């Protein structure tokens, strides 16, 4: 209660409009002091003009709807007190871009947020349908909202897909472009991290690693296996070894 009121007062003091006052009253562990400060900076820079309700509560992050001058935003907030931060270390340590990150909890979460920003930027630059990253501060990532009327596009597991074979090949194409052009492996590819509306979109790239990561090829195999496991229920899939062979062998 008190925590909620304190949060609302602080947000209001930032001069940002709260669209859905009840929905935005979230768990105390999301809006700690660090997060409020980061949010404040993003609001102050006018990168966020409206904060809406929660879209998702995941293992490590909460996603909120937001707007900047009428344009939809996804505001992804990594919780500092996340349960999973040990697992994050492995993805960071092997990636040369982030191997020097200090081992404090906060430091890791901030690096993770920056890593997701960079990964989305690389994917986006490679022309892969994925949210355009807009800004980050500490543990908050701002990105393009993929959805309509404040409702996110469904995860592919909940979407109505007409031609699974076509969508499967599109996603394989994304994985290939991610590998060849962005030089990344997604490393958590599944029916949960693909949104679908007319075409598939890849999301959730915090854990994606560069190809020089010692486990990049392990992650790649796991991604392809996941993809094939899911799509084999609906359409013919390409043999896993064949996919890897074409990717890695060229």
Catalytic residues: 188, 204
Q: Is 143 exposed, middle or buried (0-12, 13-18, 19+ CB in 10 A)?
A: buried
Give the x-and-dash track for 127-146 against ligand ADP (CB under 6 A): ----x-----------xxxx
- Which of ligand ADP, Mn ion, none does 190 bind, CB closer than 5 to 8 A by kind? none
Q: Which residue among 55, 75, 109, 247 contacts ligand ADP (CB under 6 A)?
A: 55
- Which of ligand ADP, Mn ion, none does 74 bind, CB closer than 5 to 8 A by kind? ligand ADP
Q: Is 226 in the site for ligand ADP (CB under 6 A)?
A: no
- Exposure string for 79-114, b = 16+ CB within 10 A, e = fewer: bbebeebeebeebbebbebbeebeeeeeebbbbbbb
Residue 34 near residue 119 (C-beta atoms within 8 A) = no
- Which of Mn ion, ligand ADP, none does 66 bind, CB closer than 5 to 8 A by kind? none
Using CB under 6 A as the binding rule, the residues of this chain from 56 to 85 that contact ligand ADP are: 56, 58, 60-61, 63, 74, 76
* Nearest residue to the partner ligand ADP, using Cβ: 58
Q: Is 204 in the site for Mn ion (CB under 5 A)?
A: yes
End-to-end CA distance of the chain: 58
Nearest by Cα to 48 from 77, 24, 22, 69 = 69
Q: Which is nearer to ligand ADP, 67 or 237 (CB)?
A: 67
- To which residue do tokens 């349960």 refer? 83
């Amino acid at each position: 209660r008190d925590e909620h009121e304190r949060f609302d007062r602080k947000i209001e003091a930032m001069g940002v409009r709260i669209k859905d006052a009840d929905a935005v009253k979230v768990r105390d562990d999301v809006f700690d002091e660090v997060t409020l400060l980061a949010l404040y900076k993003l609001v102050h820079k006018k990168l966020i003009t409206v904060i809406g309700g929660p879209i998702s509560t995941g293992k490590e992050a909460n996603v909120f709807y937001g707007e900047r001058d009428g344009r939809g935003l996804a505001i992804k907030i990594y919780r500092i007190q996340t349960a999973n931060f040990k697992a994050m270390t492995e993805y960071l340590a092997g990636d040369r871009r982030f191997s020097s990150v200090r081992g404090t909890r906060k430091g890791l979460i901030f690096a993770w947020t920056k890593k997701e920003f960079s990964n989305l930027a690389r994917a986006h630059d490679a022309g892969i349908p994925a949210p355009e990253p807009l800004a980050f501060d500490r543990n908050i990532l701002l990105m393009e909202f993929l959805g309509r009327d404040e409702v996110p596009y469904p995860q592919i597991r909940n979407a109505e897909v007409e031609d699974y074979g076509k969508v499967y090949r599109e996603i394989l194409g994304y994985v290939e472009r991610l590998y060849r052009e962005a030089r990344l492996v997604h490393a958590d590819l599944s029916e949960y991290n693909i949104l679908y509306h007319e075409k598939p979109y890849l999301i959730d790239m915090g854990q994606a690693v560069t190809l020089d990561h010692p486990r990049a090829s392990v992650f790649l195999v796991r991604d392809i296996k996941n993809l094939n496991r899911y799509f084999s229920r609906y359409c013919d899939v390409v043999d896993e070894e064949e996919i890897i062979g074409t990717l890695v062998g060229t």
